[in-house]
């Protein structure tokens, strides 16, 4: 499992021009069950994505397709972890 922290590197006004395409891109991965949740930080200086991609290479490929990445709008910090305790409702994402 991976936590992906996104830090905007351009003004929020520029980010807002690309939010729709970013969210549409993410939706493909929600549909394929590779993402669990995502959303902006508060205050809005970036965002967080919780991913259940099976390995780091797939996460790197996923990020390279993100409009925020391709337009050089953000920096990414990826943290891999192994969940050992989780709510039963999350098992579908963790026990793949």
Q: What is the CATH number of the domain that holds 44?
A: 3.30.70.1060
Q: Is 40 exposed, middle or buried (0-12, 13-18, 19+ CB in 10 A)?
A: middle
**For the chain, how many structural domains are there in total?**
1
Q: Tell me the residue range of the domain where 16 lies.
A: 2-94
Give the C-alpha separation, 2 to 59, whole Å.
8
> What's this model's pTM, rounded to 2 decimal places?
0.93
Q: Summarize pLDDT for 28-49 with one digit per residue, the tens.
A: 999 999 999 999 999 999 999 9
Number of helices and strands in the chain (H, E) = 5, 4
pLDDT at 58: 97
- Per the CB < 8 A criterion, the answer to whether 93 and 29 are in contact is no
CB-based contact 52:33 (threshold 8 Å) = yes
pLDDT for 54-78, tens place per residue? 999 999 999 999 999 999 999 999 9
């Amino acid at each position: 499992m991976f936590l992906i922290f996104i830090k905007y590197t351009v003004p929020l006004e520029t980010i807002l021009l690309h939010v729709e395409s970013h969210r549409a891109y993410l939706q493909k991965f929600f549909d394929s069950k590779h993402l669990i949740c995502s959303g902006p930080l508060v205050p809005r200086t970036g965002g967080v994505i919780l991913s259940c991609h099976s390995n780091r290479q797939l996460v790197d490929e996923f990020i390279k397709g993100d409009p925020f990445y391709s337009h050089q709008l953000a920096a990414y910090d990826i943290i891999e972890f192994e969940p050992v305790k989780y709510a039963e409702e999350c098992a579908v994402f963790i026990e793949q």
